[in-house]
Structure formats: C-alpha cells, structure tokens
Amino acid sequence: MKALVKEQRGTGLSLRDSEKPRPGEGEVMIMVKAAGICGTDVHIWNWDKWSESRIKPPLITGHEFAGIVCETGPGVQHISPGQRVSAEGHIACGVCEFCRTGQAHICRDVEIIGIDRNGCFAEYLTVDARNLWPLHDAIDDHLAATFDPAGNAMHTVMAEPVAGKSVLLTGAGAIGLFAVAIAGSLGAEPLIVIEPNERKRQLALEVGADYTLDPAAPNLAETVLDATEGLGPNILLEMSGNQHAITSGLRLLRNGGTASMLGIPSKEITIDWARDVIFKGITIRAINGRRMFDTWFQTQNFLLKHGELARKIITHTMPIDDYLHAFDLLNRGEAVKTILDVA
Ligand code: NAD
Ligand code: ZN
C-alpha cells in the first residue's frame, strides 16, 4: 500500500510502498479516505527536539482521519465492515487508575497512532476497535478528519462555561480557530484573539472573533482591558504554547479568572507565579487530548450544527501525492488545516 513514512531520523517524509497491516485481536483495519495534517506531523517532518526524543523510524505518521472499516480482527463484535469511522488516536491501556475512573485521556500507558505506532497517512491502518468513532452520515470525510483537532478545542473550551463571559484566546492556529468557532457559538462575549499571522487573524474574525490583535501591537494590554470593563477577560484559552502569549495571557486575565492551557511550549517557560497566579486567585486547567468520549459527542454536535464554520478552517485539500506541497504550505504558515485525500 501507499504510505507517507518517516524512514530515518532527520527531516522530511517519503511516500513509498509499505506492507499492508493485518488487524490483530480486538482491532479493525480501516481504508483511509481523508487525513488531516496536524502541527505534530509538521514537527515530525521538521525533526525537532521533541520528535528526536519520541519518534522511532520507520514510522507511518498521521493521526487525524476518516475512513471505512474493511476488515475486523478476532474478538471484534460491535462493528462491521462498511462502517464509516474516525478514531480517537490515543490508545489508552484501559486498566490503570485513570482509565478506570473516566480519565482515559490522562492514561499512564497511552500509545498514540502516528507517533508510537503506525498512523493514517497510508491507504490502510489498524486501530483498536474500542477507539472507533462511527461517523454520522451528515459529516463528510473532510470534516470528519477534523474530529481530533476540533476535539482538542472542544475539550479546552468546555473546561469552564464561556456563555456570557469575556474570553481571550491566544494562538489562532488550527486548534485555536476551532476554539474560536466553538466559544463563539456557545456565547462567549467578547471573544478576543491574539495571533501574529494576519491571514489567521482574518479567519478568526470569519469564524466568530469580536476583536483580533497582533501580539506586537503597542496598545495590546489597553485594547484588551478596554474590551473587558478594565478588569481583563474572565477566561483565557491558551492555544499557542508561546512563552510571550502565556505570560501576557496570564497577566491580562481577570482576578479570579480561569486559564485553560492547551498549548505546549517547546521548552521550559517562566511565569511570575506570585503576581500572575497566586495573588490574582486564578484557576489554571491543563488540557490534554480529548475526553473519551464526552468530547467526541460534543464535537459531533458542533460539526453537525456549525459545519460551515469548521469548513472555513480547512484552507487546503489535496491528494496525498502532493504531500511535499502540503507540508511546504504549512511550514510557511500559508495553510491552516490541510486535508490529504488518500483514497
Ligand atoms: P499551530 O502551530 O497551528 O498554532 C499555534 C498558533 O500560535 C500559530 O498560529 C502561531 O502563529 C500562534 N502564535 C505564535 N506566537 C504567538 C504569540 N506570541 N501570541 C499569540 N499567538 C502566537 O498549532 P496547533 O496545531 O493549532 O496547536 C496549538 C498548540 O496546542 C500547540 O502548542 C500544540 O503543540 C498544542 N497541542 C496540544 C495538545 C494537547 O493535548 N494539550 C494537542 C494538540 C496540540
Ligand atoms: Zn490507562
């Protein structure tokens, strides 16, 4: 089968012929129709420090997808060939304390598809049947391939009720833009977005932001305070992982506010803990992955009702054969969410 593979340590991926997998006990084989490129795939392409420490080539990358079950392995009962599916990419152990208390998203022994085992940038992949998400007929393959990033956004936004609250969102990348669309549709008001890329600021307005700001704007703090009764926003949604965004987001947050933190800094960061956290009495929530499967139900409802907003975030679709062009556009910040047509 055709697959996009990290063949050895170093930059790039190559499209090559790879052995078709077989579904093991409790697994299904899926024919991949559409696969989304995540920021993580771009990190793996660029072979950054994180990839160096985590990825063991050869590996088929990719974890955001929609496809069709074409074969079931031994012991799989609740799903049959022909079913359209996406899947939670975090394969939790199912037996640790966290898995057994409804917190499989922080499983101690998680394995992630396209990172720790072969992923979806291929004509076929095998996945644990427990991880499947059967797709609603009204959600097409391109939109369905966004369940994973839209789910990260949903998990972050749902950490604290946003209706009627002022929200500051830092980092309007793909996940940040989904979070803008979700928070806006849930009644966040005003919804202020800080993002350096002009095209993404424009998209943020199109999916529901009230104001957008460049982090380099000289009057950034005044503008945010003016829009929030001089007190700062009730809620911070941090979706950049950037040190400056985290520092200024926490500083602008209102006393007693809540910061839901999704962005992953590439190295240790510094926070003025006394001034920006303790004395303000804020709550910080760390967000990892998607809740299994509460977040998936919420994301399905969002995609069914607001699919047209989500579709604006898919800026590019192209055949998997054009992967060089796809990764180039992403590396240059010209594409936001790119979906590869696989079959
Ligand atoms: P992305 O790179 O597409 O988006 C990050 C955005 O932040 C970019 O648009 C960038 O221009 C913007 N940015 C950079 N500097 C900024 C600044 N000073 N102020 C405001 N914005 C700034 O990444 P993504 O795929 O949308 O993911 C968002 C973040 O979430 C990343 O850090 C990613 O590693 C992380 N992530 C976390 C989880 C999780 O489970 N916690 C899952 C997926 C991704
Ligand atoms: Zn577990």
Secondary structure (DSSP) of 115-183: TTB--SSBSEEEEEGGGEEEPPTTS-HHHHTTHHHHHHHHHHHTTS--TT--EEEE--SHHHHHHHHHH
Q: State which of 49, 262, 288, 338 you would mutate to test the pocket of ligand 1, scoring each by most atoms of that ligand within 8 A of its C-beta.
A: 262
CA of 194, closest atom in ligand 1: 20
Å from CA of 82 to ligand 1 middle: 35
pLDDT band at 185 (very low <50, low <70, confident <90, very high): very high
Over range 315-337, report the average pLDDT: 97
Burial of 9 (0-12, 13-18, 19+ CB in 10 A): exposed
| Pick from 194, 278, 302: nearest CA to 238 | 194
Q: Which amino acid is at 52?
A: E
Specify the residue with its C-alpha closest to ligand 1, atom 17: 245
Å from CA of 253 to ligand 2 middle: 34
Q: What pLDDT is recorded for position 235?
A: 99
User: φ, ψ for residue 285 (rounded to 5)?
Assistant: -115, 125
Q: What pLDDT is recorded for position 184?
A: 98
Specify the residue with its C-alpha closest to ligand 1, atom 42: 289
Secondary structure (DSSP) of 296-330: HHHHHHHHHHHHHHHHHHEEEEEEGGGHHHHHHHH
Q: Could you tell me how far CA 339 lies from the centroid of its own chain?
A: 14
pLDDT band at 313 (very low <50, low <70, confident <90, very high): very high
Q: What pLDDT is recorded for position 335?
A: 97
Å from CA of 118 to ligand 2 middle: 20
Q: What pLDDT is recorded for position 128?
A: 97
pLDDT band at 196 (very low <50, low <70, confident <90, very high): very high
Condensed to tens digits (0 to 9), the pLDDT of residues 47-74 reads 999 999 999 999 999 999 999 999 999 9
Count of Cβ atoms closer than 10 Å to residue 109 Cβ = 12
HEC readout, 181-200: HHHHHCCCCCEEEECCCHHH
In Å, how far are 48, 93, 202 from 119, measured between CA atoms?
19, 18, 32
Tokens 């793996």 belong to 44
Specify the residue with its C-alpha closest to ligand 1, atom 34: 264
Q: Is 43 one of the annotated active-site residues of the chain?
A: yes
**What is the spatial distance between Cα 54 and Cα 168, in angstroms, rounded to a whole number?**
32
Active-site hit among 40, 61, 126, 315:
40
Which H or E run contains 17?
A: strand 14-17
Q: What is the total residue count of the chain?
A: 343
Active-site hit among 43, 244, 306, 325:
43
**What is the spatial distance between Cα 291 and Cα 271, in angstroms, rounded to a whole number?**
28
CA of 265, closest atom in ligand 1: 32
Condensed to tens digits (0 to 9), the pLDDT of residues 102-146 reads 999 999 999 999 999 999 999 999 999 999 999 999 999 999 999
Å from CA of 130 to ligand 2 middle: 13
Condensed to tens digits (0 to 9), the pLDDT of residues 264-286 reads 998 999 999 999 999 999 999 99
Q: State which of 40, 175, 243, 332 you would mutate to test the pocket of ligand 1, scoring each by most atoms of that ligand within 8 A of its C-beta.
A: 175
Å from CA of 102 to ligand 2 middle: 10
Å from CA of 140 to ligand 2 middle: 31
Contact 8, 57 (CB under 8 A): yes
CA of 149, closest atom in ligand 1: 43
Condensed to tens digits (0 to 9), the pLDDT of residues 225-262 reads 999 999 999 999 999 999 999 999 999 999 999 999 99
Q: What pLDDT is recorded for position 244?
A: 98
**What is the spatial distance between Cα 247 and Cα 45, in angstroms, rounded to a whole number?**
29
pTM: 0.98
Of the ligands numbered here, which is closest to the C-alpha atom of 168? 1
Condensed to tens digits (0 to 9), the pLDDT of residues 13-25 reads 999 999 999 999 9
Q: Could you tell me how far CA 13 lies from the centroid of its own chain?
A: 21
Q: What pLDDT is recorded for position 204?
A: 98
Q: Which amino acids bring their CB within 6 angstroms of ligand 1?
A: 38-39, 152, 170-176, 194-197, 200, 215, 239-242, 244-245, 262-264, 287-289
The contacts of residue 131 (CB under 8 Å, 6+ apart) are 87, 88, 89, 90, 91
Condensed to tens digits (0 to 9), the pLDDT of residues 155-182 reads 999 999 999 999 999 999 999 999 999 9
Q: Is 325 one of the annotated active-site residues of the chain?
A: no
Q: What pLDDT is recorded for position 322?
A: 98
